[in-house]
Amino acid sequence: TGTISSLQRQMEIQESELRRIRSENEMLQKQLREREVQLQAVSDKFCSLTEEQRQEEVTVMMEEENRNLQQVVTEQESQLAEQNQLISELQETISQLRAEVVTTRLHLLEQKQALNEIQSQAEALQHKELQTRVALERTSTKFDRYRSKIIQATFSVEGIQDPPAELTDDEVLEAMQKIINERMEFQQRLKNKGSK
């Protein structure tokens, strides 16, 4: 936004300079018209003189006026050429500044869209994390119930002492394996004796 404001200020300055030059241009053209009016006045004055005086006066005055006018025209043409060149440069600068403003606005729009997309992804991840936490809590609760049932089934067997304290998973597995081994040995003994 700061870049756009800076570019717009530069563009306003350039446009103001362009208006000033155009105003000077109009002033030069006005001066040319005034010269033409003066020349017409001189011409009207000579019309009232005698033919001979008129011819002499006209010749001298016209030559002098022509020199003056030629010099003025040359100077003003030079100034006009310089101002036209400056106008062209200013218009080019203004066009570049406008293009930069458009580019900057497009860049800001892209950044805003990217930010919105990132925020949307973050919200989706948060939602997924919440779902995962809920699923994990459910799984953990099921596992605790299952573990409790295993412990209860394992230590409810006759001849197995109740655990003295909180059991680790390895201790529960060891107790279960012990029961399984004892049953397998018992079955093997029965089989060896021919019992069904």
Higher pLDDT, 121 or 61: 121
In this prediction, residues 115-130 reach a mean pLDDT of 94
What pLDDT digit, counting tens, does each position of 132-173 carry?
A: 999 999 999 998 888 888 877 777 766 666 666 677 778 778
d(CA 148, CA 163): 12
Q: What pLDDT band is residue 10 in, cutting at 50, 70 and 90?
A: confident
Residue 172 · residue 154 · CB < 8 Å: yes
Cβ distance 151 to 167 under 8 Å?
Answer: yes
Residue pointed to by tokens 């093997």: 188
Do 98 and 15 form a contact (C-beta atoms < 8 A)? Answer: no
User: Mind listing the pLDDT tens digit for each residue in 90-111?
Assistant: 888 888 988 989 999 999 999 9
Please state the domain extents for the chain: 1-119, 124-191
As a whole number, mean pLDDT of residues 30-56 equals: 75
Query: Could you tell me the pTM of the whole model?
Result: 0.41
Q: What value does the mean pLDDT take over residues 26-43?
A: 84
